[in-house]
């Protein structure tokens, strides 16, 4: 790392991170309800709304916190073109997990040197595509997590910039399903990494080593992050003792965001400080590659209540978004804040707002989607304003792994997406239609 211990002080970083014009977190309550209602009215629901200005702010806050590092955007969190262009304009390169993501990044204008492809058990078609792309963009970097993948690249004639992904033996993250660091699927075993780096440096331009602990790391998981970084620092020094000069050491992404309204924002300055400290002195540049942190609080999902059912246990609130629109609650039991915008607007319209709120009251609400699966549930028995058919709900922190993990299961077309930028709103992804569902079939 060019400046392992001489960077900005923790206090300076914290000031930069917490500047009033770029707060560390944007809560669901901070979104303008009238604007969201107007968008739902115009474009229908379910609807993703992505605030590109907030994406840019998040990029700035990350770069301020890691002034000496390369901050890359893990595009898998949100690959929409408008987001990619915003991130590119903010100066972050793209970390891509597939040929499709590389294709999107190049299409959005990232240069070859701004594209890092991290191959995970890559299908032949991905390697074919990326090696072809490399012939046109020789500055792109490929990260391999197995000696076998390096061999497959060599067979295709690739001798460009290579990075070795290491399994650091330590994982972290909000759910066991997103902890990668100690999972054998990812990266070469730590104790074989020096050998692979050494031998690969003969056939490729060996530029870096890489590891990723997992996703959604909170302040409480910092110990694991620190340990991963420490191991990577040590490995980098071993590699350099073996005579291989590294350009960068990439310690992955995974910076968490507060999904709970009561959870504090991640102290990015503390994470940056811990990272620098744990890495120790190196001649290589530190790289980090957050995805979620860049886009999570820049997005909300709007959905309308279509069915209200009182049961002895709960009020079942049926909405028009489901696990096919936002998979995270079903897949990881993830918590997403939910706000009833309509109940607020009736409060706002009423001269005596508090009476109106009392009239609605709060009930234990189980918000469910239209998918024929019992896991199609956004929350269970959560205290929310008593729902009425037609109410508009906003689901918070939907910008990361929201649209990206949407599917057409149950033959439900995927939703539309609107992007906000400098006061303007534009439809950036049209709603899929029933015809779209069958378009790829030949009979």
Catalytic residues: 372
Q: Which residues pair with 308 in a beta bridge?
A: 317
- Residues numbered 171 to 200 that lie near ligand LLP (CB under 6 A) are 178, 180
CA atoms within 13 A on the CB side of 173: 22
Distance (Å, rounded) from C-alpha 180 to C-alpha 158? Answer: 27
What is the closest distance, in whole angstroms, from the C-beta atom of residue 248 to ligand LLP in the complex?
Answer: 14
**Cβ–Cβ contacts within 10 Å for residue 132, how many?**
12
In 32-97 the beta strands, taken as DSSP E runs, fall at 47-51, 70-71, 73-74, 94-96
The least CB distance from residue 421 to ligand LLP, in Å, is 22
Would you say 168 or 254 has its CB closer to ligand LLP?
Answer: 254
> Contact with ligand LLP (CB under 6 A): which of 179, 215, 340, 365?
215
Minimum distance between the CB of residue 10 and ligand LLP, rounded to whole angstroms? 22
Q: Which residues between 274 and 303 bind ligand LLP (CB under 6 A)?
A: 289-293
Closest approach of Cβ 338 to ligand LLP, in Å? 17
| Number of chain positions touching ligand LLP (CB under 6 A) | 22
d(CA 240, CA 84): 34
Site for ligand LLP in 135-174 (CB under 6 A): none
Instruction: Work out which of 168, 171, 181, 254 binds ligand LLP, going by CB under 6 A.
Output: 254
How would you label 156-165 residue by residue, b for 16+ Cβ within 10 Å and e otherwise?
Answer: eebebbbbbb
Q: Give me the least distance between CB of 167 and ligand LLP, in Å please.
A: 12
Interstrand relation of 377-385 and 362-368 (parallel, antiparallel or unpaired):
antiparallel
Question: Can you read off the two tokens belonging to residue 417?
Answer: 């997406």
Site stretch for ligand LLP (CB under 6 A), options 249-257, 306-314, 347-355, 415-423: 249-257
Of residues 33 through 92, those in contact with ligand LLP by CB under 6 A are: 74, 76-77
If one counts every other C-beta atom within 10 angstroms of the C-beta of residue 46, the result is 28
Neighbours of 400 (CB within 10 A): 26
**Ramachandran area for residue 333 (φ above 0: left; ψ -120 to 50: alpha; else beta):** left
Residues contacting residue 391 through CB under 8 Å, at least 6 positions apart: 304, 305, 340, 341, 342, 343
DSSP string over 334-361: ----EEEHHHHHHHHHSSSHHHHHHHH-
Residue 37 or 227: the one with the smaller Cβ distance to ligand LLP is 227
Q: In this complex, which beta carbon is closest to ligand LLP, that of residue 26 or of residue 360? A: 26
Tokens linked to 267: 């102290």
Q: Is 253 in the site for ligand LLP (CB under 6 A)?
A: yes
In terms of CB distance, is 31 or 186 closer to ligand LLP? 186
Beta bridge partners of 384: 363
Which residue bears the tokens 């037609």? Answer: 390
The whole-angstrom separation of Cα 340 and Cα 357 is 12
**154 neighbors 201 (Cβ within 8 angstroms):** no
Interface residues for ligand LLP in 317-376 (CB under 6 A)?
Answer: 328, 332
Task: Give Cβ neighbours of residue 65 (< 8 Å, ≥ 6 apart).
Answer: 13, 16, 17, 268, 269, 271, 272
Residues 105-124 touching ligand LLP, rule: CB under 6 A, are: 118
Nearest to 115 by CA among 127, 103, 126: 103
Give me the least distance between CB of 77 and ligand LLP, in Å please: 5
Q: How far is the CB of 396 from ligand LLP (least distance, A)?
A: 14
Compute the least distance from the CB of residue 120 to ligand LLP, in Å. 8
Cα separation, 339 vs 353, whole angstroms: 17
Nearer to ligand LLP, 40 or 279 (CB): 279
Please give the residue ranges that form the binding site for ligand LLP (CB under 6 A).
74, 76-77, 95, 118, 178, 180, 212, 215-216, 252-255, 289-293, 328, 332, 401
């Amino acid at each position: 790392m060019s400046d392992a211990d001489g960077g900005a002080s923790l206090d300076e970083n914290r000031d930069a991170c917490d500047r009033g014009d770029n707060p560390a977190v944007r809560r669901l309550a901070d979104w303008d309800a009238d604007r969201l209602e107007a968008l739902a009215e115009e474009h229908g629901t379910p609807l993703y709304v992505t605030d590109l200005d907030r994406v840019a702010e998040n990029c700035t806050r990350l770069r301020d916190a890691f002034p000496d590092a390369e901050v890359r955007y893990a595009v898998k969190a949100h690959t929409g073109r408008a987001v990619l262009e915003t991130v590119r304009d903010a100066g972050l390169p793209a970390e891509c997990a597939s040929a499709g993501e590389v294709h999107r990044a190049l299409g959005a204008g990232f240069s070859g040197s701004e594209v890092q492809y991290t191959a995970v058990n890559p299908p032949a078609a991905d390697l074919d595509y990326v090696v072809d792309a490399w012939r046109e963009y020789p500055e792109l970097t490929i990260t391999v997590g197995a000696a076998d993948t390096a061999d497959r690249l060599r067979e295709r004639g690739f001798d460009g910039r290579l990075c070795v992904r290491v399994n650091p033996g330590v994982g972290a993250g909000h759910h066991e399903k997103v902890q990668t660091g100690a999972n054998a699927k990812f990266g070469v075993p730590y104790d074989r990494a020096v050998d692979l780096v050494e031998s690969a440096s003969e056939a490729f331009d060996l530029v870096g080593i890489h590891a990723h602990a997992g996703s959604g790391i909170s302040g409480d998981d910092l110990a694991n992050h620190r340990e991963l970084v420490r191991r990577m620092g040590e490995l980098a020094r071993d590699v350099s003792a073996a005579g291989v000069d590294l350009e960068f050491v990439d310690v992955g992404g995974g910076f968490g965001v507060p999904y709970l309204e009561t959870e504090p924002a991640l102290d990015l300055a503390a994470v940056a400080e811990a990272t620098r400290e744990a890495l120790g002195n190196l001649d290589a540049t530190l790289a980090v590659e957050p995805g979620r942190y860049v886009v999570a609080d820049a997005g909300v999902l709007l959905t309308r209540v279509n069915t209200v059912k009182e049961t002895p246990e709960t009020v079942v609130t049926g909405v028009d978004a489901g696990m096919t629109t936002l998979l995270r609650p079903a897949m990881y039991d993830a918590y997403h804040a939910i706000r009833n915008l309509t109940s607020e607007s009736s409060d706002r319209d009423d001269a005596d707002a508090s009476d109106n709120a009392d009239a609605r009251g709060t009930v234990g609400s189980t918000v469910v989607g239209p998918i024929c699966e019992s896991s199609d549930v956004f929350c269970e028995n959560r205290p929310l304003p008593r729902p009425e058919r037609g109410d508009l709900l906003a689901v918070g922190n939907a910008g990361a792994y929201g649209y990206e993990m949407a599917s057409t299961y149950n033959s439900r077309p995927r939703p539309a997406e609107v992007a906000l930028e400098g006061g303007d709103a534009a439809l950036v992804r049209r709603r899929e239609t029933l015809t779209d569902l069958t378009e790829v079939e030949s009979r």
